[in-house]
Amino acid sequence: MGSFWTYASEDPGHLALVEPDGREWSAGELHAESNRWVHALRGIGMEPGDVVAMLVPNSVTPWALYLAALQAGWYLTPINYHLTAPEVAYILRDSGATAFVAHARYADVAGGAVRAVGFSDAQCIAVGAIEGFTPYDAFVADASSDVPTARVAGATMHYTSGTTGRPKGVRRTLSEFDPDTAAEINSLLIQLFGVTPRDDNVHLVTSPNYHTAVTQFAGSSLQLGHTLVLQDQWQPAETLALIERYSCTVTHMVPTHFGRLLGLPEDVRHRYDVSSLRYAIHAAAPCPVAIKQRMLEWWGPVIYEYYAATEGGGTLATPEDWLAHPGTVGSPWPISDVAIFDDDGTVLPPHTEGTVYMRMHNLDFHYKDDPEKTAANRVGEFFTVGDIGYLDDDGFLFLCDRKADMIISGGVNIYPTEIENELLSHPKVGDAAVFGIPDDDLGEAIKAVIEPVAGVAADDAFRGELFAYLEGRLAHFKWPRSIDFTDALPRDPSGKLYKRKLRDPYWEGRARQI
C-alpha cells in the first residue's frame, strides 16, 4: 500500500484524473498542482489546524485542494454550491475559514458571501474571474511545485445539519501520523468493499464534491492510485458512455441515479458495455427493493450498499448479503458497531424497533463549537442521527423510519424546520408545515402546507408569491415541489404540530423508509 503522493512519485505518468471536459491530469501534474496550493496558501499565513473552504464544481481544483490540505495539516470544508450567499457566509464564519476558493460559475453567491463575512482579497481565490477575489493564476504564480517541507496530516470538515437548526461542522482531531500513513488508514473503508490498491481501478465520480461520500470514496480511490473520472452535470446516458470509454471499475451513486438509469430507453441502456464495473456502491437514501433488483439483473452482482453518517460508523451489504436479506442496509463494518436503543438508553433485542446508534472504533468527533449538540445524540460512545430501525438475528440492520422529520430527496438531506422558518417569515403566512411525500424519482418530494393569515386568499397567486419570496433565501433544492393551503394546521393546545396527520395520508399503502 501507499498514498497518492508515493504513487505519484513512483509513477508520475499514471493517469490520475479526467475532468468533465476531457482534460487529463497525470499523477505528476496533479501532485505538482497540489504542492503549488500548499506553498501559495502558506504564503498568506495558513498554519496546521486552519480551514480552507471551497465552492467549486467537479474539476481538478477540489482534488488538488484535497491533496494540499491533507499534507499541510488543514481542514478542507467543501460547500454545497446550491446554497445562497447568506448560507455560504454562515459556513465561512462558523468554520473559521482562513481561505476561500470559489469558481466563477458561483460568482454572485461567492461575492455576496465574502462581503457579508468581510474577507480580504488575499483570502479569496477565484478559479476564473470574481470581483474582489485574487485570480488563481496570480495566486500561484510564484508558488513552487516542489514537495512541501513540514508535511502534516490534515482532514476534511463537512457540514451537516443533523435534523434541525443551522448546519454544524463535523470536526475530528487531526491525526498524529504523517500524511502518507494517515492516507493509508483513511482508505481502509473502501477496501472493506473489496476494492484494492492500483489494480487498474478507475473510479467514476457521479456526485458533487461537497458530498461527504464523494470525498471519502473518491478520495480513497485517489490515495490508492486509482484514476478519477469526473462528471459535472450528471446525465444517465453520459454515465454509461464514460463507464465504457474509461473501463470504469468503481463508482458511488444514490438510488435516484439508479432510477434515472433504468428510465433510459432499453436500446440506450444496452448500447454501452458496462462489464468493467466491479463495485457500484450506493447509499444516502432508501433504494426501493424493485429498483435494486432490476439494477442487479442489469449490472450483475456488483451493487454494494452501506449505511453511514458524516459523523462516522456504518454498515455494509454485499450483493450476496442483500439477496439473502432483501431490504437490509448491511451489517456493521469491522471497525464499527451498531446498536438499537430505546428512549431510556437500553439496548433492544433483535427484531425490536428503536433508535439506531453507531460508533467507530478509535475515532471520535464533535460538532464544532456545539458541545450541547455533541452530547445530545450520544449514549456512551455511541451516537445517533435519529433513524429508527432494527437488527435481525444475523446482525443485519433494517431501517424503518426517521425519528425526526428529515427529508431525503435525491440522496440529499433536507431539513423542514429551515424551510418552515423562511415561509413563516412571510407576512401573509400564519403557520407552515413542511414534510416529505412519495416521489418515484427522488424518493421523497418536499410538500409545504400553509395556513394563510386571515383575509389572505389561498390561491395560485399567493402560491406564486411564496415561491418568489424564497428566491435568494433558500437554495432551490430546498424549495417545496408543491404548496397546499389549509384553514388550520393540526396543533395541540401546547402548540405541538401533529405533522403525521398531514404526512401519513400520502404514505398510505407505501412503506416510508429512510
For residue 349, the Cα-to-chain-centroid distance in whole angstroms is: 32
Contacting residues for 299 by C-beta, under 8 A, at least 6 apart: 274, 277, 280
d(CA 456, CA 329): 47
For the cut 70, the answer to whether the pLDDT of residue 56 exceeds it is yes
d(CA 371, CA 408): 26
For the cut 80, the answer to whether the pLDDT of residue 513 exceeds it is no
Q: What is the pLDDT of residue 367?
A: 76
For the cut 50, the answer to whether the pLDDT of residue 325 exceeds it is yes
Three-state SS for 343-370 is: CCCCECCCCCCEEEEEEECCECCEECCC
Tens of pLDDT, residues 197-249 = 988 999 999 999 999 999 999 999 999 999 999 999 899 999 999 999 999 99
d(CA 317, CA 396): 8
Q: What is the pLDDT of residue 512?
A: 56
Q: Which three cell numbers stand for residue 47?
A: 498554519
For the cut 70, the answer to whether the pLDDT of residue 416 exceeds it is yes
Confidence of residue 511 (pLDDT cuts 50, 70, 90): low
The CA–CA distances, whole Å, from 119 to 59, 98, 330, 411 equal 25, 9, 45, 33
Q: What is the pLDDT of residue 165?
A: 59
Percent of the chain whose predicted confidence (pLDDT) is above 90: 71
Radius of gyration of the chain measured on its C-alpha atoms = 23
Residue with cell 517541507: 149
Q: What is the pLDDT of residue 492?
A: 53
* Mean of pLDDT values over 7-13: 96
Q: Which three cell numbers stand for residue 46?
A: 495558513
Tens of pLDDT, residues 110-153 = 999 999 999 998 899 999 999 999 999 999 999 999 999 999 99
Q: Which residues pair with 360 in a beta bridge?
A: 336, 363
d(CA 481, CA 478): 9
Per the CB < 8 A criterion, the answer to whether 163 and 406 are in contact is yes
What does the mean pLDDT of the chain come to? Answer: 91
For the cut 60, the answer to whether the pLDDT of residue 265 exceeds it is yes
Q: What is the pLDDT of residue 498?
A: 79
- Model-level pTM? 0.81
Q: What is the pLDDT of residue 412?
A: 85
d(CA 53, CA 357): 30
Ordered by where they begin, the domains of the chain are 25-166 (3.40.50.980), 328-402 (2.30.38.10), 407-507 (3.30.300.30)
The beta-strand segments (E) located in 172-261 are 202-205, 227-230, 250-253
Confidence of residue 510 (pLDDT cuts 50, 70, 90): confident
